Amino acid sequence: MTPPSEPTTSAPARVAQVGVHGFGTHHLANLQRLQSAAAVELVAVADPTPPAEGSVPETAAVFNSLDQLLPATPDLDVVIVATPIQTHAPLGLAALASGADLYLEKPPVASLADYYRLQEAAATTGQAVQIGFQSLGSHALPAIEELLAEGRIGQLTGISATGKWVRDRAYYKRSRWAGKRTIDGVDVVDGVATNPLAHAVATALRIAGARTTADVASVETELFRANDIESDDTSVIRIRTAAGLPVTCALTLCVDEPVEPYVTLQGTLGTAVFHYTLDRLEVSVNGESTEETFGRDDLTANLLDHRRDGVPLLSSLADTGAFMLVLEAIRTAPLPALIDADHVRWVGEGDSAHAVVEGIDDAIERATATHSTFSELGLPWAVPAGTGQDGGTVPAGVVHN
């Protein structure tokens, strides 16, 4: 991670954070680093559950909600929102209305309609909105652009995202919204592609040159679940960009052992594999391989630099339009199909147990290599689209932009 910019004679940015638990703890630690460099002052936090002792500066005011924080904390420069997905839209809109710039954790919001509302609000207020896809700050991305421009792997024929993580029963019990598509009629859309492995999708889209909604021609989904949840934990998302490039994301939370996710660029002369959590790029051409690890810009520091010097945002709201089309396709798809128990085994005991879909490692490799869905591969648990399972409908949703 690149250190924050050197302090200037300008006053530190006045920052408030909403949500101080879960991933919010990472933001608190980063703000502490930035505050030590005199780049920010964390003046207030809001959360229904009080922050852990010592996690926020003694000088920071503590509130139960953003509604309480905003009128009591004037002249905010930045509001960071690290809260459950279904709260992103109302909290983001409130932050923009206060006149502050916004750092909003991923996914931006839970529907395309809310995305457009947030875009309109940002345009009206003139405030900046950074979205928390941290992988988009990697210095490997400009290196990949250069690699493609030079034709080092030949003509780009496709991009795939491979995600194989593990989530146990406790993961889905950690909060009321975990594993939910909706709560009390409010969209949540907490699935493998929209939350834990959302960075895989967003990074693949960025490399494909798909930033805005206009950059995507179509999205297809096949959504499945091995866990007792509403949302998907094992899915293929197949995207075609406006330029005609296929982008296939094969993702699961149901493998024996987790693997660092990666994005593969398939070219006529070779391949490039980007391990985005490690900022590592491997290039293979004609049997020869090279590997390089890159640095990464911190998105909060980037937002501060944007405010001060006008540098481009690395993960702006406008540039997440393509990702939001994927989320919308998942949101509007039929319910994820339950994978038959004959094809699922459980590893561990009690809440530490996690589901493993038999043969899923190989299935994901085949899906990404051939840009195929699980049903197209003929997997025994992936019922062909439209035939249904137990009277239901297998999720094969398509959104055309």
Read off the pLDDT of residues 224-282 as tens digits, 9 standing for 90 and up.
999 999 999 999 999 999 999 999 999 999 999 999 999 999 999 999 999 999 999 99
Average pLDDT score over the chain: 94
> DSSP character for 303?
H
Q: CA distances (Å), 20 to each of 58, 234, 237, 363, in order?
A: 15, 29, 32, 38
Q: What is the mean pLDDT of residues 333-346?
A: 97
Q: What is the mean pLDDT of residues 179-195?
A: 97
Annotation: CATH topology of 137-295+330-400? Dihydrodipicolinate Reductase; domain 2 (3.30.360)
Annotated domain spans of the chain: 13-135, 137-295+330-400
pTM of the predicted protein model: 0.94
Contact assessment for residue 227 and residue 355, using Cβ atoms and an 8 Å cutoff: yes
Residue 384 has pLDDT above 70, yes or no: no
Per-residue pLDDT at 2? 47
* Beta bridge partner(s), residue 238: 220, 248
Per-residue DSSP letters for 252-291?
ESEEEEEEEEEEEEEESSEEEEEETTTTEEEEEETTEEEE
13-135 homologous superfamily: NAD(P)-binding Rossmann-like Domain (3.40.50.720)
Contact assessment for residue 104 and residue 132, using Cβ atoms and an 8 Å cutoff: yes
- What is the Cα–Cα distance from 48 to 26, expressed in whole angstroms? 18
Read off the pLDDT of residues 11-70 as tens digits, 9 standing for 90 and up.
999 999 999 999 999 999 999 999 999 999 999 999 999 999 999 999 999 999 999 999
